[in-house]
Chains A and B, each alone.
Chain A
Amino acid sequence: MMARASGSVVGERANLPFAYRQYSPDQLREVLRKMYLIRRFEEGAEDSYMRGLVHGTMHLSIGQEASAVGICMPLTDADQITSTHRGHGHCIAKGADVKRMFAEFFGKTTGYCKGRGGSMHIADVTKGNLGANGIVAGGIPIAVGAALSAKKMKTGKVVVSFFGDGANNEGAFHESLNMASIWKLPVIFVCENNGYGMSTSTARSTAVRDIADRAAAYAMPGVIVDGNNFSQVAEASHIAVERARRGEGPTLIESKTYRYRGHSKSDRNRYRTREEIEDWMTNRDPISLFEKELLEFGVIDQAGIEAVRATVEKEIADALEFARQSPMPDPADHELFVYTEVA
Chain B
Amino acid sequence: MDATVRELSYAQAIQEAMALAMDADERVFLMGEDIGVYGGAFQVTGDLVERFGPERVMDTPISELGGAGVAVGAALTGMRPIFEFQFSDFATLAMEQIVNQAAKMRYMLGGEVSVPVVMRFPAGSGTGAAAQHSQSLEAWLGHVPGLKVIQPATPHDAKGMLLAAVADPDPVMIFEHKLLYKMKGPVPEGHYTVPIGKAEMRREGRDLTIVATSIMVHKALEAAAKLEGEGIDIEVIDLRSIRPMDKDTVIASVKKTSRLLCVYEAVKTLGVGAEVSAMIAESEAFDYLDAPIVRLGGAETPIPYNPELEKASVPQVPDIVAAARDLVRGRR
Contact = CB atoms under 8 A, between A and B. Distances in A.
B58 to A, nearest CB: 8
Contact of B70 (A131, A145, A339): A145
A82 B76 CA distance: 12
Nearest to A180: B70
Interface string A89-130: 000000000000000000000011111110001010100001
Contacts of B106: 337-340
Interface string B102-116: 000111111111100
A178 interface: yes
Interface in A186-215: none
A146 interface: yes
B96 A117 contact: no
Interface string B61-75: 101011111111111
Interface in B99-148: 100-101, 105-114, 145-146, 148
Nearest to B148: A339
Nearest to B107: A337
Contacts of A332: none
B: contact size bracket: 35 or more
B106 to A, nearest CB: 6
A130 B68 contact: no
B109 A146 contact: no
Interface string B199-222: 000000000000000000000000
Nearest to B244: A339
Nearest to B29: A152
B193 interface: no
Contacts of B27: 153
Interface stretch (A48-56, A58-66, A136-144, A252-260): A136-144
A217 interface: no
B258 interface: no
B15 to A, nearest CB: 22
Nearest to A185: B70
Interface residues of A, number: 45
B101 A138 contact: yes
A175 B70 CA distance: 10
A123 B68 contact: no
B77 A116 contact: no
Interface in A287-330: none
Contacts of A145: 69-77, 81
A149 B28 CA distance: 11
A175 B137 CA distance: 24
A142 B78 contact: no
B79 interface: yes
Top 6 closest A-B pairs, CB basis?
A: A145-B73, A141-B69, A175-B66, A114-B110, A142-B73, A113-B110
Interface of B: 27, 29, 55, 60-61, 63, 65-79, 81, 96-97, 100-101, 105-114, 145-146, 148, 169-170
28 contacts: A111-B110, A113-B109, A116-B108, A117-B109, A125-B113, A130-B77, A131-B108, A138-B96, A141-B66, A141-B97, A142-B97, A142-B101, A145-B73, A145-B75, A145-B77, A146-B74, A148-B70, A148-B74, A149-B73, A149-B77, A152-B29, A152-B74, A153-B78, A172-B96, A176-B66, A176-B69, A176-B70, A339-B169
